[in-house]
Amino acid sequence: MAAVTRTPLIAGNWKMNLDHLQSIAFVQKLSWTLSDARHDFGDVEVAVFPPFTDLRSVQTLVNGDDLPVRFGGQDVSAHDEGAYTGEISGAFLAALDCRYVIVGHSERRQYHGESDEDIAAKVSAAHRHGLVPVVCVGETAEDLEQHGPSAVPVAQLRVALGGARKGSEVVVAYEPVWAIGSGQAATSEQAQQVCQALRAVVAEVLGDEAAAATRILYGGSVKAANIAGFMREADIDGALVGGASLQLEEFASIARYQKHVGT
Ligand code: 13P
């Protein structure tokens, strides 16, 4: 595979936490903390995924103060407009300067019955509107027991990428369901094994060049104490952080993992 450098991405999925006022305070403090620590955002990209109702506030702050933090939505409708009560169009996210959108998070799959086909349609919607989908895949504890770690996420990604437009960027997030919110992260070796298999799926569906350029994140109980181990792996290009992304110092420390690689 061609040698390319992939800019690591440390992303915070806030889930249903922090209202629009809290989001402003958080993003402001996060930027100050990282800037004070001379964080190079070109070297390690930092993004947050606040609730929809926060996005306008975050956009106004980021654009107004020219902050280097990126942001995106936690979900997107497969439809562009119309009679879909409660859904959010990719056009609206793009109009708020979102760069990214999470699709297929396991909580959407589990609580909202989203299928791999639904997620493929959302990937397609994201690309129609110039958004980069962060496609989440991952196995449950039962899947792990029955099929091992790679089979289910590989199958999920193959279908989801069916919605991708060739030449448009995707980010993949491997999030084992059993590791989410459990305090029990995967080992970096196991995560690497699955991320390598996921990169092969990107190659199969979108080609070798896309596979070499695509960032694959690990998610599930990531914290400052374990991030460096994941980032040492060849096929892990960042993290999708849940709980720890709501703790300012902890999240800033995760973004600065290069300072504690080797510790
Ligand atoms: P935790 O970091 O809280 O385990 O959540 C991971 C996650 O679901 C991020 O999308």
What tens digit of pLDDT does each residue of 222-237 get?
999 999 999 999 999 9
Q: Which of 180, 184, 227, 247 best tests ligand 1's pocket when mutated (most atoms within 8 Å of CB)?
A: 180
User: How does pLDDT run across 42-78, given as a tens digit for each residue?
Assistant: 999 999 999 999 999 999 999 999 999 999 999 999 9
Boundaries of every domain in the chain: 9-260
Specify the CATH class of 9-260 in words.
Answer: alpha beta
For ligand 1, atom 2, name the residue with the nearest CA: 242
Ligand 1 binding site (Cβ under 6 Å of any ligand atom): 13, 105, 175, 180-181, 219-222, 240-244
Q: Give the distance, in angstroms, between the CA of residue 45 and the centroid of all CA atoms in the same chain.
A: 12
Atom of ligand 1 nearest to the CA of 173: 10
Exposure letters 186-200 (e unless 16+ CB within 10 A, then b): bebebbbbbbebbbb
Residue 5, pLDDT score = 86
Beta strands in the chain, from DSSP E residues, in sequence order: 9-13, 45-49, 70-73, 100-103, 132-137, 171-174, 215-219, 238-241
State the average pLDDT over residues 80-88: 98
For the CA of 219, the closest atom of ligand 1 is 6
Record the tokens describing residue 98, joined without a space. 């979102």
For residue 261, pLDDT beyond 80: no
**Model confidence band, residue 3 (pLDDT cutoffs 50, 70, 90):** low
Ligand 1 centroid to residue 245 C-alpha, Å: 9
Q: What is the DSSP string of 126-141?
A: HHHTT-EEEEEE---H
Q: Which 8-state DSSP code applies to residue 186? A: P
Would you say 170 and 138 are in contact if contact means Cβ atoms under 8 Å apart?
no
Give the pLDDT of residue 260: 74
Quote the pLDDT of residue 109: 98
Question: Mean pLDDT for the chain?
Answer: 96
The span from the CA of 40 to the CA of 233, in Å, is 21
Atom of ligand 1 nearest to the CA of 15: 10
Q: With contact defined as beta carbons under 8 Å apart, do 174 and 144 qualify?
A: no
Rg of the chain, C-alpha, whole Å = 17
